[in-house]
Amino acid sequence: MARSAILGVGHYVPTKVVTNDDLAKLMPTTDEWIQQRTGIKERRFIEHDGIGASDLAVPAAKMAIERAGRNVSDVDMILFATLSPDVNFPGSGCFLGDKLGLPGVPALDVRNQCSGFLYSLSVADAFVRAGTYKNILVVGAEVHSTGIELNERGRDVAVLFGDGAGAALVGASPSDDRGLLSIALHADGSGAKDLWLPAPGSMHSPHRITHEMLDRGDHFPQMNGKQVFRWATEKMPAVALEVLKSAELTVADVDLFVPHQANMRINELVAKKLGLPADRVVHNIEKYGNTTAATIPIGLSEAFAEGKLGAGKNILLAAFGSGYTWGGAVLRF
Ligand code: UT7
């Protein structure tokens, strides 16, 4: 069975820059608090009404396909990771397929939040190795700005998130010693309510959302930040070591670590636990905040543009987030 590989990566972020000082005009917070606790300086928000996750995905997808040396018409499967779909149904993958002009091409949405890109990569890998599909478009895209509460009640969550999209074209590896060397996925639903969006939801009867829920803010994400922080700093190093072991590599072999971008302090702690020096760890949280399913493909795309994904480089990926879900992967370019 042929190994799978990321053949091209791309990304797109909206043009509207929102600084910490901009947020401080809407809620009691400060640039100092946000930078100290998270490392975030600014994030991007969509420019106007009517822009969904699939719209951000279009330019990211086209960049990934072009960098892979393929045409849009070569795509034979779409995997779309998002926690902020354009609408509740159908999936954003269907909207993206239509916007790219791909009628008949299957589209699957993956609902695994911060680990969504890694879960999707694992699905793509299985399809490629089985020979089912040849050029799979894997997208992570989020519009968070319309789903966060920009006031005092929502400030712990609101300052963290930004909008953006990343994409990868996944196909058969050109050689057996390159491509996706290992991947691991995990979930533990006992922490589901530590970071969740309670409403609207099918568990609420007779209506999925009520005026009372809206008044309580149940339609905004609720987070137990300290608990998520604790889990993330434990599970990300563990899964990183797990995938390195499966790939028969050690931390010393890692040329670049592209972790999910939720908090600069989380990633510094993870890198320290692994013994990885800062110059081998990608970070862009200062520019984009947490773009959830998009952080890893955006990180890969920027690393590619900076010439950091040269042939033979070993790239370690790891993510942790809502679910809880987490995962890791090792790629050789
Ligand atoms: O992809 C996964 C997504 N989420 C995460 O990974 C989040 C993981 N958790 C975190 O990153 C951190 O827990 C946070 C950045 C969310 C918070 O940092 P913390 O050091 O855990 O702060 P805290 O929750 O202990 O809050 C400290 C104080 C509280 O006030 P009191 O109770 O000490 O008086 C908060 O009310 O900071 C207050 N606070 C704020 N102050 C200014 C909470 N949000 C803000 C804010 N600005 N935006």
| DSSP string for residues in 25-81 | TTSS--HHHHHHHH---EEEE-SSTT--HHHHHHHHHHHHHHHTT--GGG--EEEEE
Helices in 131-263 by DSSP H: which ranges?
Answer: 155-158, 211-216, 225-246
Q: Which of 112, 114, 263, 283 is catalytic?
A: 114
Q: Is the pLDDT score of 274 beyond 80?
A: yes
Q: Supply the range of the domain harboring residue 209.
A: 179-332
Question: Which of 172, 206, 225 corresponds to the end of one domain?
Answer: 172
287, 276, 289: which is closest to 317 by C-alpha? 276
Q: Please compute the mean of the pLDDT values over residues 285-302 and round it to a whole number.
A: 98
162, 288 in Cβ contact below 8 A?
A: yes
Pair 302, 197 in one domain: yes
pLDDT of residue 218: 97
Q: Is the pLDDT score of 2 beyond 90?
A: no
Task: At 73, list the tokens.
Answer: 């018409």
* Confidence bin at 76 (pLDDT 50/70/90): very high
Q: Is the pLDDT score of 203 beyond 90?
A: yes
Q: Is the pLDDT score of 1 beyond 80?
A: no
CATH classification of the domain holding 299: 3.40.47.10
- The amino acid occupying position 67 is R
Tally the domains of the chain. Answer: 2
Q: Please compute the mean of the pLDDT values over residues 201-217 and round it to a whole number.
A: 97
Distance CA 32, CA 181 (A): 41
CA 12 – ligand 1 centroid, Å: 28
Pair 153, 222 in one domain: no
pTM over 0.95: yes
Give the number of other Cβ atoms within 10 Å of residue 43's Cβ: 30
Tokens 């990885």, residue? 276
* Confidence bin at 176 (pLDDT 50/70/90): confident
Which residues have CB under 6 Å of ligand 1?
29, 33, 37-38, 114, 155-156, 159, 195, 225-226, 228-229, 232, 262-263, 266, 290, 321
Q: Which residue's C-alpha comes closest to atom 29 of ligand 1?
A: 156
Q: Please compute the mean of the pLDDT values over residues 141-152 and round it to a whole number.
A: 98
The per-residue pLDDT for range 3-48, each reduced to its tens digit, is 999 999 999 999 999 999 999 999 999 999 999 999 999 999 999 9
